[in-house]
């Protein structure tokens, strides 16, 4: 492998830069890997360039823009997926422009490609009644039902991302008052999230039943399948979907498209409705910026209604004069305060 061309720097990007210098998560590395796999496949099929023969000369702005168009038009990718792929490419070319200053102009041309604007998705979340209905579905007379209740309760109460939930180990939970769970989030950042008393009580019983409260079990997955392996993202989604179907069969009307991430949204929206400060909600959710958290306040119709009512009750402005009440234009203008 030549040390002055694309394959060498792509290998260095994945083997040392991302896990070492950037300390990104394994999921981010896999996402970037998929991006470059698709790029190399596109260059092979559309431009007849074998993957092992791709060079920086082949990767100009036009090639990247054609690849992004291919993702949307031929692969049926959404705008958000297109933007996600572009983010992975930009990460590599930021790395490349430092490693290869002679390629600076070409890298800058690619880095100047803009994200496409897409409609902001509607936040799906459960009402308080729907959340209670969902959490009442697991059959607590069985071990699996008790596990599922602990899983769903913690997923909602901690507002954890699904991967954060899958990665939890027994040692991540402290049930002494005040009960706390330590979540490992994006960018390998950790945050301690307090648990309310009912959730802590459910977790305590579940952990005691499975002997997860012992010191030697600290590195054991908190939630596992029948093979004692940690639950996967798809496994958690399956469990949630199963109880949504069960709840709807018993008179509920929970939308079928609710995902584990919707429980995170639900917790955030319920906190907004309770009037909890957005700074605290931001820290609990592990957001980098308060602007990300503000989307919940903006999306909550009850919050908007209360804000409008508050404005109307404190409106200091008298009603505007009506032109029809005074047809003399000068008198009308002077009547404007």
- Active-site positions? 161, 186, 261, 264, 287, 296
Q: Note the residue count of the chain.
A: 337
- Spatial separation of the C-alpha atoms in residues 245 and 272, rounded to whole Å: 28
Cβ–Cβ < 8 Å for 46, 66: yes
Residue 286, CA distances (Å) to 97, 188, 259, 309 in order: 31, 11, 19, 31
- Spatial separation of the C-alpha atoms in residues 208 and 68, rounded to whole Å: 51
Query: Would you state the structure tokens that stand for residue 227, as one six-digit string?
Result: 């093979």
- Spatial separation of the C-alpha atoms in residues 226 and 229, rounded to whole Å: 7
Please provide residue 189's backbone torsions phi and psi, each rounded to the nearest 5 degrees.
-90, 145
**What's the gap between Cα 60 and its chain centre?**
31
H-run or E-run covering 191:
strand 190-194
Residue 69, CA distances (Å) to 15, 108, 140, 279 in order: 29, 20, 51, 39
Q: What angle do CA 107, 23, 85 make, to 5 degrees?
A: 45
- Spatial separation of the C-alpha atoms in residues 179 and 173, rounded to whole Å: 8
């Amino acid at each position: 492998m030549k040390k002055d061309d694309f394959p060498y720097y792509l290998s260095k990007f994945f083997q040392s830069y991302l896990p070492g210098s950037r300390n990104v998560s394994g999921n981010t590395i896999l996402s970037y890997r998929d991006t470059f796999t698709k790029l190399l496949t596109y260059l092979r099929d559309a431009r007849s360039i074998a993957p092992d023969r791709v060079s920086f000369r082949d990767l100009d702005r036009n090639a990247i823009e054609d690849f992004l168009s291919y993702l949307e038009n031929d692969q049926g990718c959404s705008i958000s997926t297109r933007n996600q792929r572009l983010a992975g490419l930009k990460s590599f070319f930021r790395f490349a422009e430092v490693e290869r200053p002679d390629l600076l102009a070409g890298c800058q041309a690619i880095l100047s490609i803009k994200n496409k604007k897409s409609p902001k998705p509607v936040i799906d979340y459960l009402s308080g009644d729907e959340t209670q209905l969902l959490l009442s579905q697991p059959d607590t007379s069985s071990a699996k039902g008790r596990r599922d209740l602990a899983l769903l309760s913690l997923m909602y109460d901690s507002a954890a991302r699904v991967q954060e939930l899958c990665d939890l180990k027994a040692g991540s939970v402290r049930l002494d008052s005040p009960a706390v769970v330590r979540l490992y989030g994006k960018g390998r950042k950790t945050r301690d999230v307090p648990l309310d008393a009912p959730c802590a009580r459910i977790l305590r019983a579940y952990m005691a039943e499975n002997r997860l409260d012992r010191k030697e079990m600290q590195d054991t997955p908190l939630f596992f399948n029948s093979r004692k392996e940690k639950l996967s993202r798809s496994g958690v989604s399956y469990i949630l979907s199963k109880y949504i179907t069960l709840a709807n069969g018993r008179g509920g009307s929970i939308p079928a498209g609710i995902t584990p991430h919707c429980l995170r949204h639900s917790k955030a929206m319920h906190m907004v409705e309770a009037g909890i400060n957005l700074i605290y909600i931001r820290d609990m959710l592990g957001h980098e910026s308060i602007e990300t958290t503000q989307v919940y306040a903006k999306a909550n119709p009850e919050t908007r209604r209360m804000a409008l009512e508050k404005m109307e009750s404190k409106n200091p402005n008298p009603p505007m004069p009506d032109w029809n009440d005074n047809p003399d234009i000068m008198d009308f203008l002077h009547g404007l305060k």
